[in-house]
Amino acid sequence: MTLLSVQGLHTHYHVEQGTLRAVDDVSFEIAEGETVGVVGESGCGKSVTARSIMGLLPRRIGEIAAGEIRFAARGGTLDLAQQDPLGPVMRDIRGNDIGMIFQEPMTSLNPVYTIGAQIVEAIRLHSDLSKADAWAKAEQLLERVGINEPARRAKQYPHAFSGGMRQRAMIAMALSSDPRLLIADEPTTAVDVTVEAQILALLEELKRERNMALMLITHDLNVVGEIADRVIVMYLGRVVETTTAARVFDDPKHPYTRGLLASLPSLGRRTRLTPIEGTVPGPHQRPAGCPFAPRCAQATEKCNTQPPTFRIDAETSVACWLYDDAEAGHA
């Protein structure tokens, strides 16, 4: 069953230089219990998409200009795009139905409150538990995410925790109200590789045991390969390819996805890494047609107009003119 359905989302940032189309006509779905990886370089709109869903766009700067964010909650579906981001409905969705963890574990926790107090705050916000029960639950959660001596650790401040431990504490906090969806925005970018593997394994475990959907935002295709079911590849605010995690490695369609893959080091393959030519254009120099065309080796005249999304089969669709005969079958 579909848990989250984003349709035609446009998110605009009003900055001094003008209006920036940070998310430009993005559509995707996340089913219950599914892990979806959202991949792309910095500035491609991954995080803005997540913040649009959470109602956490910067006030007076970010704005959902068009589109729907349908979320299955309270026995029906709710269009989060229509809600007041600061209003009671969104506040109840945030932290309760949708949890979120961030890239920077070192700065994600408030330095003047204990870890336990911050988790208890989240628990009591969305439940009627007494303070003592909430503390007990916070300790259980800390233990569940792999923190030793949770009773003692809960009374410590964030500065006594390492980066990996803080990220675990963040996960405990995000899970405190049993959300249906966890959005993880680059959760392992700022931690060591060994810690990264542990955190990913933990997210995978927790997701399975709670039948929770996971939206994993990352710039690292390897992370996606490890735990995602499906992959959404974004470039300059647009979805360029939607496919399964297996296919993204075996049969990437979009030239950008191929480029990402070719620039990835892998064990046992002694070939040169091929970086994608050029850089992501600045947000104010968005190309008129296909956003990737200026960096694409296969670009043609056609690419001066924006390609629609071609559905290749039930699992894969791609926004590239190379596949405009795809309706007929596999390209």
Partner 1 sequence: MFKNPVINRILSALFTLWLISVISFIVIQLPPGDVVSNFVRQQELISGASVPPETLEFLRQRFGFGEPVYVQYLKWIAGFPKGDFGFSVIYDGAEVADIVARRIGMTLLLAILALFLSWGLAIPLGIYAATHKNRFSDYLMSNVALFGLSIPDFLMAVVYLFIAIFVMGSDYTGGLFSEAYVDAAWSVERFWDFLKHLAVPLLILSIGGMAGTFRIMRANLLDVLGQQFVETARAKGLRERVVIYKHAARIAINPLISRLGMQLPVLLNGTIIISIVLDLPTLGPPFYRALIAQDMYLAGTVLMLLAVILLIGNLIADLLLAWSDPRVRDG
Residue 52: closest CA among 107, 2, 90, 96 = 90
Provide the minimum distance between the beta carbon of 88 and partner 1 in the complex, in angstroms, as a whole number.
Answer: 9
With binding defined as CB under 8 A, does residue 96 bind partner 1?
yes
Q: Contact with partner 1 (CB under 8 A): which of 1, 86, 132, 193? A: 86
Distances (CA, A) of 1 to 178, 213, 230: 18, 11, 15
Query: Toward partner 1, which CB reaches closer, 49 or 317?
Result: 49
With binding defined as CB under 8 A, does residue 125 bind partner 1?
yes
Q: How many residues sit close enough to partner 1 to count as binding (CB under 8 A)?
A: 29
Query: Toward partner 1, which CB reaches closer, 3 or 183?
Result: 183
Provide the minimum distance between the beta carbon of 100 and partner 1 in the complex, in angstroms, as a whole number.
Answer: 4
Provide the minimum distance between the beta carbon of 111 and partner 1 in the complex, in angstroms, as a whole number.
Answer: 6
| Strand-strand pairing, 62-73 and 76-79 | antiparallel
With binding defined as CB under 8 A, does residue 171 bind partner 1?
no
Residue 37: closest CA among 210, 186, 170, 168 = 186
Provide the minimum distance between the beta carbon of 113 and partner 1 in the complex, in angstroms, as a whole number.
Answer: 8
User: For 123, which DSSP code?
Assistant: H
Stretch that binds partner 1, among 26-34, 103-111, 210-218, 277-285 (CB under 8 A): 103-111
Strand partners, 24: 10
Which string of x and - marks every residue 35-64 that binds partner 1 (by CB under 8 A)?
A: -------------------x-x--------
Which residues are CB-contacts of 159 (< 8 A; sequence separation ≥ 6)?
Answer: 111
Structure-block tokens of residue 146:
């792999």
With binding defined as CB under 8 A, does residue 298 bind partner 1?
no
Single-letter code of the amino acid located at 313: D
User: For the chain, what percentages of helix, strand and coil (3-state, to nearest 5) are there?
Assistant: 35, 25, 40
Structure-block tokens of residue 175:
């899970």
Distance between CA atoms of residues 275 and 311, nearest Å: 28
Distance between CA atoms of residues 68 and 180, nearest Å: 19
With binding defined as CB under 8 A, does residue 219 bind partner 1?
no
Q: Contact with partner 1 (CB under 8 A): which of 6, 73, 100, 184? A: 100
Strand partners, 318: 241, 310
Q: Contact with partner 1 (CB under 8 A): which of 12, 46, 70, 94? A: 94
Provide the minimum distance between the beta carbon of 112 and partner 1 in the complex, in angstroms, as a whole number.
Answer: 6
Contact positions vs partner 1 (CB under 8 A): 54, 56, 86, 91-96, 99-100, 102, 104, 107-112, 121-122, 125-126, 157, 159-160, 170, 173-174
